[in-house]
Structure 1
């Protein structure tokens, strides 16, 4: 089901009023400071603003948290791994086109996203978390100018590609040291048919759910990453009318296991 932004904000405001756990989400992402939604979401970080690699267990209990599954489930985390961190990513999927070829199709060229800590939300309010990527997709992508926003107090780090097959997660910031490393895709599953296709309900579909594994096991404290609950990100089926390089807005949850 597709929701308008107004409907999502109303639904989230209702949830926040009923269960005011974690509220720092909109910040400078296009909301006016006088709005009730902004005010409630500024309080959202009280439960999930844990700091450091080990302190989160004292802030919330993630031992029983179950990761959502795609209609065709991805393989489970490898034996011995446990949930380490959960983040919402907001950014772009990037593509290239051969503009000299009339029959060319877009080619994936990596992604760039800012990651925000929602670990305790995965334990305390998983239903609310499941719609956060849809809400985030409707808001502007964070930029360097947002660094003074309260939302950055919950930043996990950044996601980007170091080459066409290496997804890099840098979760070491000025605030936290969660780890960093390069990952490769080992499995994929189509997003549910109900996934948000793009901004304002218009787009080419949600990118697949993924399972990623560390390229070098000793490189990073977390060893596997799942991209789930995706919203937007898919390119058009043809390069017709597209530039040589272009971006498609997306959002997703990232689940890290160590």
Structure 2
């Protein structure tokens, strides 16, 4: 079975025929020939209205736009699942922004049952050496003894391209309670960005109760990294 990334690429390539729109109308206007990664996005993330918990600093610009695909981890404590962080890979979808495919990517990601190793193989087969994988998202121990989210793009960018962040605010997903919250994360350490937003989330929530053990729940989301 092809990976969701390959399917997304094929879907993007097929859009002109499906929509009856010339290719030049749906590809990033400054690109010729069509690229799949490394595009500049001048737009900013669209956040829920009438709330003050997840707020974009209007002075910041979009630095990276990534599709995150992975799992939310939980530990059973006193009969309820408590977050134990997450592990995900972030893929560069900057060149898909502005096409009808962009809003479908989180759903596409969840429709395929895949192994992380097979994704890399399929990406290489489909896109050659194009750096589609931006990097990894995982959690690290912080000075207070808890855990903090880290976005590590050092494999695709430079050795200093990472950010460790802290949650500033969260709002429930507008698409339903089965999805993990939308988040605003502010930089604590690193050079990659000042704010990171997790939006357009799909799945990732645990059951309401538990008896013991740990649980990993698949999820996907869009991540916007903002910087000056």
TM-score (ref. length: structure 2): 0.75
> Compared with structure 1, are the counterparts of its residues 255 and 233 closer, same or farther at alpha carbon in structure 2 (3 Å cutoff)?
same
Give a deviation string over 1:80-106, Cα, whole Å, max 9, x none.
Answer: 3111110000000000114xx5xx100
Matching of residues 16-55 of structure 1 within 5 Å: 17=17, 18=19, 46-50=34-38
Mapped pair 1:233 → 2:204: yes
Q: Is this contact kept in 1: 2:75–2:213, CA < 8 A?
A: yes
Q: Which residue does 1:113 correspond to in 2?
A: 88
Q: Which deviates the most, 159-168 or 111-120?
A: 159-168
> Compared with structure 1, are the counterparts of its residues 16 and 72 closer, same or farther at alpha carbon in structure 2 (3 Å cutoff)?
farther
1:134 alignment partner, one of 107, 119, 135: 107
Q: Which residue does 2:65 correspond to in 1?
A: 86
Give a deviation string over 1:37-80, Cα, whole Å, max 9, x none.
Answer: xxxxxxxx942322xxxxx44xxxx22x1312235555433243
Distance in 2, matches of 1:252 and 1:72, equals: 22
**3-state DSSP of counterpart to 2:224:** strand
**3-state DSSP of counterpart to 1:191:** coil
> Compared with structure 1, are the counterparts of its residues 171 and 189 closer, same or farther at alpha carbon in structure 2 (3 Å cutoff)?
same
Distance in 2, matches of 1:207 and 1:132, equals: 16
Q: Which residue does 1:27 correspond to in 2?
A: none
Task: Point out the structure with the larger strand share.
Answer: 2
For residue 131 of structure 1, report the CA deviation from its aligned partner.
1.5
Q: Is this contact kept in 2: 1:114–1:142, CA < 8 A?
A: no
For residue 169 of structure 1, report the CA deviation from its aligned partner.
0.2
Distance in 2, matches of 1:72 and 1:248, equals: 30
Q: Is this contact kept in 1: 2:69–2:109, CA < 8 A?
A: yes
Distance in 2, matches of 1:248 and 1:49, equals: 28
TM-score (ref. length: structure 1): 0.67
CA RMSD of aligned residues (A): 2.9
Q: Is this contact kept in 2: 1:165–1:184, CA < 8 A?
A: no
2:44 alignment partner, one of 54, 60, 66: 66
Q: Is this contact kept in 2: 1:170–1:179, CA < 8 A?
A: yes
**3-state DSSP of counterpart to 1:172:** coil
For structure 1, the residue ranges without an aligned partner over 5 or more in a row are 23-44, 51-55, 198-204
Distance in 2, matches of 1:119 and 1:138, equals: 21
Mapped pair 1:176 → 2:157: yes
